[in-house]
Amino acid sequence: MTRMRRRDLLAAGGAVALFAPALARGQIPGGAETILIIGAGLAGLTAALRLRETGRRVIVLEGRSVAGGRVRTIRDPFDNGLYGEAGAARISDVHHFVLHWLNRFGLNAVPFSPPEGRTIFVNGAVSAFSDDPRAGALLEPDLREDERGFLPSELANHYLEGLPENLQSTDVDAEMLAGWADFDGVTWPQWLKKRGASDAAVRLLTLGADSSDISALYVLRQIFMHRAGRAYLKIEGGMDRLPRALADELGDDVRYDCCVTAMEQTRDGVSVSYRENGETKIASGARLLITLPFTILRDMDITPALSPEKRAIISAMPYRSSIRFLLQSDTAFWRMRGLSGAARTNAPCEIWDASFGQLSVHGLLSVTAGGRADMRARFAEMDEQAQLALGSDMAEAAFPGFKSHYQKGFTQNWTDDLWSKGAFAVSHPGQMTRWGEKAWTPEGRIHFAGEHVSPWPGWMEGALWSAERAVQELL
């Protein structure tokens, strides 16, 4: 389990003692001892449960009518109980907080991808198997002589040799951040070039997702923090089983269809304005835990204003754009061809077999197109049929014949999602070393949690890690 800092814990305890909460309880929910939590995603739900277990009164205000946030399992419109994920789809066996919570609710983690079957890489009209040593040269004919003959995964490792092992640490301090400044000074493609990679190698190593504006430090942290992992897993029955189990246990402490619009803190307590059934209401409490993505928080009124530094981080934090397509086919025909259903293409997109492990005659491909603004713009102008056709085209490029098997589908554009306005937090060069822990330090009675204020941005693990950190601040 990740170590939390003792000094943070002591600082939070001191603040609680200084300001005795004094707001009166009326017909408004909450009260002097209550901890208000905004958002019933994984961060809000687990923080609420942990706090309640220590005897604290909690109220979770959630804007949607269901819990789970960006953990969303899609069952409709698919046939025979087939399901896929609109958001979080896999975990690693190094995600200790996730495994802890799965264990607590008796939920099974099962393999994410088949042990057998080949993965395909596609670049335009050319495709190659990822386990073929000729793949690099086939996909990128301009690859330098000394870069040929490697599997794509080996080529990546070649450029990662000799980097500091502390890149995998979850307990980051200022000294460590200072030592990583060079990695944070450039984008991932720029860093690969600095390490000696040719343009063709950079294209090969970034196949499947656009990383042209992402800090090299962000990518290196993701790689190193997952290095000890032996397997990717998923929750049997759907990823939403975890937030559903949490929400069931919390019962009426989660209030749905309550869209928070503003927040206020005084010397004595906090209050939150929210819309419920067309009315504006106010909840009050001793402290406030905000788990909203910063894309949402940046448009909200907070009185008095947060520190200039925090406001700057909240308004500048970049979020990944991501479009997920779930495409049902009559059969998982790729398995008959010895394929795993996984592919990376220059669309750019990443594909996997979401039906793997499910008892169904149908196949379900998950196609994720990430990053590129031109794709987002094209997608936004299309009707649903055209959007699904775009997803099918991407699947067809990796699995020729897919379109003749395609039956129905679902799409989710996370940038347009009212409740997240983006997929997950990323970092542009300079931001990680400049911001450090400042993104999540509390401001008076206001605390912050969510994947974006953790060392695991983009992962459920980050949401759960941040919740535990916030709970320790609050106790």
Enumerate binding residues for ligand FAD (CB under 6 A): 38-44, 61-64, 69-71, 87-91, 259-260, 291-293, 296, 322, 324, 414, 419-420, 423-424, 450-451, 458-463
Give the nearer residue to ligand FAD in terms of CB position, either 63 or 136. Answer: 63
Give the nearer residue to ligand FAD in terms of CB position, either 224 or 419. Answer: 419
Antiparallel, parallel or unpaired: β 270-276 and 279-285:
antiparallel
Is 22:268 a contact under the CB 8 Å cutoff?
yes
Give the nearer residue to ligand FAD in terms of CB position, either 89 or 94. Answer: 89
Cα gap 300→444, rounded to integer Å: 18
Strand partners, 30: 284
Shortest gap between Cβ of 279 and ligand FAD (angstroms)?
15
Give the nearer residue to ligand FAD in terms of CB position, either 197 or 464. Answer: 464
Shortest gap between Cβ of 175 and ligand FAD (angstroms)?
27
Shortest gap between Cβ of 255 and ligand FAD (angstroms)?
9
Shortest gap between Cβ of 144 and ligand FAD (angstroms)?
33
Shortest gap between Cβ of 269 and ligand FAD (angstroms)?
19
The secondary structure of the chain, three-state, reads CCCCCHHHHHHHHHHHHHCCCCCCCCCCCECCCCEEEECCCHHHHHHHHHHHHCCCCEEEECCCCCCCCCCCEECCCCCCCCCEECCCCCEECCCHHHHHHHHHCCCCEEECCCCCCEEEEEECCEEEECCCCCHHHHHCCCCCHHHCCCCHHHHHHHHHCCCCHHHHCCCCCHHHHHHCHHHHCCEHHHHHHHCCCCHHHHHHHCCCCCCCCCEHHHHHHHHHHCCCCCCEEEECCCCCHHHHHHHHHHHHHEECCCEEEEEEECCCCEEEEEEECCEEEEEEECEEEECCCHHHHCCCEEECCCCHHHHHHHHHCCECCEEEEEEEECCCHHHHCCEEEEEEECCCEEEEECCCCCCCCCEEEEEEEECCHHHHHHHHCCCHHHHHHHHHHHHHHHCCCHHHHEEEEEEEEHHHCCCCCCCCECCCCCHHHHHHHHHCCCECCEEECCHHHCCCCCCHHHHHHHHHHHHHHHC
Shortest gap between Cβ of 94 and ligand FAD (angstroms)?
11
Shortest gap between Cβ of 310 and ligand FAD (angstroms)?
17
For residue 412, which of 436, 388, 378, 381 has the smallest C-alpha distance?
388
Shortest gap between Cβ of 321 and ligand FAD (angstroms)?
9
Q: Which two tokens stand for residue 352?
A: 């996997």
Give the nearer residue to ligand FAD in terms of CB position, either 127 or 413. Answer: 413
Give the nearer residue to ligand FAD in terms of CB position, either 21 or 462. Answer: 462
Shortest gap between Cβ of 195 and ligand FAD (angstroms)?
27
Shortest gap between Cβ of 138 and ligand FAD (angstroms)?
29
Shortest gap between Cβ of 454 and ligand FAD (angstroms)?
8
Give the nearer residue to ligand FAD in terms of CB position, either 136 or 293. Answer: 293
Give the nearer residue to ligand FAD in terms of CB position, either 39 or 363. Answer: 39
Strand partners, 283: 272
Burial class (CB in 10 A: 0-12, 13-18, 19+), 428: middle
Cα gap 51→151, rounded to integer Å: 48
Give the nearer residue to ligand FAD in terms of CB position, either 202 or 364. Answer: 364
Shortest gap between Cβ of 244 and ligand FAD (angstroms)?
13
